Structure 1
Amino acid sequence: MRYEILCPLRVVDGTSTTSLSARKIEVLLAALLVRADDVVSSEDLVKEIWGTRAPRQAVATLHVYVSQLRKFLRRSADRTESPIVTARSGYVLRLGADELDFHVFQDLVRQGRSARQAGRTQEACEAYEEGLDLWRGPVLEDLRDGAIVNGFVCWAEQARLECVESFVDAGLEIGRHREFVSYLYARIEELPLHEAFYRQLMLALYRSGCRADALSVYQSARTVLGEELGLEPSATLKRLHHAVLVDAPELEAA
């Protein structure tokens, strides 16, 4: 069975994909998956599900939700034992042989990093791209009210951002600059304050023979950073701008 949390939460069993219709039980499953193989206290789960408006019988209701979730997972995977185990202070979801897409993503990022360090840049690029393909929509959409899920979403989005940067850097190293131009324009539209994408786009444009466009990207970055943050571009971006102006030989693709 495969749990997918890099999108609206769903459970995949073979060719069958199921989702929970009861939001509070969905929040419960999301919290247990985020902390997979670790005990999540009943107190934390109550806060995650109800926030500051927990009912008087919240713990008893939590037990009911856990029972319903166990039935759902047994039915989804057609097995007799539930992956949710009761612990002294709460509950733990044991993954066992099941798969969590975020763990797969992390493994692919590690593979990409190792391959790139070993000089296998094409292999690294493929691993990063495969990892990014796992992101199929807003992470745990509509389940971000509690500290557990919301904290995970922030952390996961940062991991994705770092993967995108590594993917593009690896792609530029092997001469994929032309195909990354439109990709990077889209990333800047998504995150206009992220300087790394301006740097990568300038380099991709320059290597594609679009020197004027590369210089225009620098001016766009300077305007956005100035208007939004009151900052000048970083020293790295300024050095790249100067290198483009003078046609520095180090900008050429390997």
Structure 2
Amino acid sequence: MISDQIRISLLGPLEITPPLGRPAEDPPFQVTAVKLRQVLAMLAVNANTMVSTEQLIDELWPYGPPRTVKTIVQTYVYQLRKLFRRTFHGPQRPQPLTTRPGGYLLAVPRDNVDVFTFQRLLEQGRSSLDQGEPAVAAEQLRASLELWRGPLPADIVHGPFLQGLSVFLEEQRLEAVSLRIEADLANNRHRELVGELRALVATHHLHESFHVRLMQALHRSGRRSEALNVYHQLRRVLDEELGLEPSPEARRIHQEILVSS
């Protein structure tokens, strides 16, 4: 099926990659209208799962829908179907956007949507790390992070669902970075990580994991005093901004550095 070949990228600007081998005269698939992009994003991040009309309404008009809202939603879906039909025409190209009782479904494999590919690679990397395979984990986590071209979705208006998903995926991205760094440390790449970790600590100064990994990278690079300074900086920031103490892991690593020769 032609829908099996459509690829949708949301980790950054919205991109629709048409099937290989389509006629050269086919126009590019471009969605410029703000609400249409929002509808397409909602359908894509729920690929192969029905999105109800009510979910679309809540996303597009969080502060109250217009009086003819269901007709407007039907119009948006019709316009998207026209774009699919115009771009992927032909007798062997079934319509990927279908109507279901109470909603709509975009029949595209989830592996063809970068959000799901990212999450799958993140889970594989976490599992490989847990199983003591840091080299495999680092490769999987790098592959997951290479899918990111910017925040999700960079050029689409956010309603409550897409805004929540954007926040969730950004947290997952930071987790993927942290796990990849953990894997690289296990692969003895500590010297290569110092610069990256300093940048991450400066950007995410309340993200304790990056401070801890920087302490480890510096200590393993023979820079014990700098590693201790990172701990003191972390302790000060947590105390001043959150009224908290460093975690047991941070305190344990700090103690290990203190007693090391």
TM-score normalised by the chain length of structure 1: 0.89
- Cα distance in 2 for partners of 1:213, 1:5 equals 39
Identity of aligned residues (%): 40
**Match for residue 98 of structure 2 among 59, 77, 85:** 85
Judged with a 3 Å threshold, the aligned counterparts in structure 2 of structure 1 residues 205 and 83 are, in CA distance, closer, same or farther, namely same
Q: Quick check: 1:181 aligned with 2:194?
A: yes
> 2:70 maps to what in 1?
59
CA contact under 8 A between 2:38 and 2:158: conserved in structure 1? no
Letter in 1 for 2:177: V
CA contact under 8 A between 1:165 and 1:197: conserved in structure 2? yes
> 2:16 maps to what in 1?
11
CA contact under 8 A between 1:34 and 1:148: conserved in structure 2? no
- Cα distance in 1 for partners of 2:235, 2:87 equals 52
With 221-230 and 141-150 compared, the bigger mean Cα shift is at: 141-150
> 2:3 maps to what in 1?
none
Judged with a 3 Å threshold, the aligned counterparts in structure 2 of structure 1 residues 214 and 8 are, in CA distance, closer, same or farther, namely same
> 1:34 maps to what in 2?
45
> 1:251 maps to what in 2?
none
Q: How does 1:95-134 map to 2 (within 5 A)?
A: 95-96=108-109, 99-134=112-147
Q: Cα RMSD (Å) of the superposition?
A: 2.2
Q: Quick check: 1:70 aligned with 2:75?
A: no
**Match for residue 157 of structure 1 among 170, 180, 190:** 170
Letter in 1 for 2:179: S
Judged with a 3 Å threshold, the aligned counterparts in structure 2 of structure 1 residues 199 and 144 are, in CA distance, closer, same or farther, namely farther
Judged with a 3 Å threshold, the aligned counterparts in structure 2 of structure 1 residues 82 and 97 are, in CA distance, closer, same or farther, namely farther
Judged with a 3 Å threshold, the aligned counterparts in structure 2 of structure 1 residues 177 and 155 are, in CA distance, closer, same or farther, namely same
Q: CA deviation at 1:20?
A: 2.0
- Cα distance in 2 for partners of 1:200, 1:8 equals 31
Letter in 2 for 1:69: L
> 2:221 maps to what in 1?
208
Letter in 2 for 1:104: T
Judged with a 3 Å threshold, the aligned counterparts in structure 2 of structure 1 residues 242 and 19 are, in CA distance, closer, same or farther, namely farther
- Cα distance in 1 for partners of 2:41, 2:60 equals 10
CA contact under 8 A between 1:10 and 1:20: conserved in structure 2? no
Q: CA deviation at 1:211?
A: 1.2
- Cα distance in 1 for partners of 2:39, 2:77 equals 8
Q: CA deviation at 1:174?
A: 0.7
**Secondary structure, aligned partner of 2:244:** coil
What are the ranges of 5 or more consecutive residues in structure 1 without an aligned counterpart? 249-254
Q: CA deviation at 1:160?
A: 1.7
Q: CA deviation at 1:202?
A: 0.4
What are the ranges of 5 or more consecutive residues in structure 2 without an aligned counterpart? 1-5, 21-26
Q: How many residues of Structure 1 are paired with residues of Structure 2 in the alignment?
A: 248
Judged with a 3 Å threshold, the aligned counterparts in structure 2 of structure 1 residues 14 and 94 are, in CA distance, closer, same or farther, namely closer
> 1:252 maps to what in 2?
none
Judged with a 3 Å threshold, the aligned counterparts in structure 2 of structure 1 residues 234 and 187 are, in CA distance, closer, same or farther, namely same
- Cα distance in 2 for partners of 1:243, 1:102 equals 39
CA contact under 8 A between 1:34 and 1:152: conserved in structure 2? no
> 1:46 maps to what in 2?
57
TM-score normalised by the chain length of structure 2: 0.87
CA contact under 8 A between 1:37 and 1:95: conserved in structure 2? yes
CA contact under 8 A between 1:10 and 1:17: conserved in structure 2? no
Q: Quick check: 1:244 aligned with 2:257?
A: yes
Letter in 2 for 1:171: D
- Cα distance in 1 for partners of 2:219, 2:257 equals 7
Q: Quick check: 1:20 aligned with 2:25?
A: no
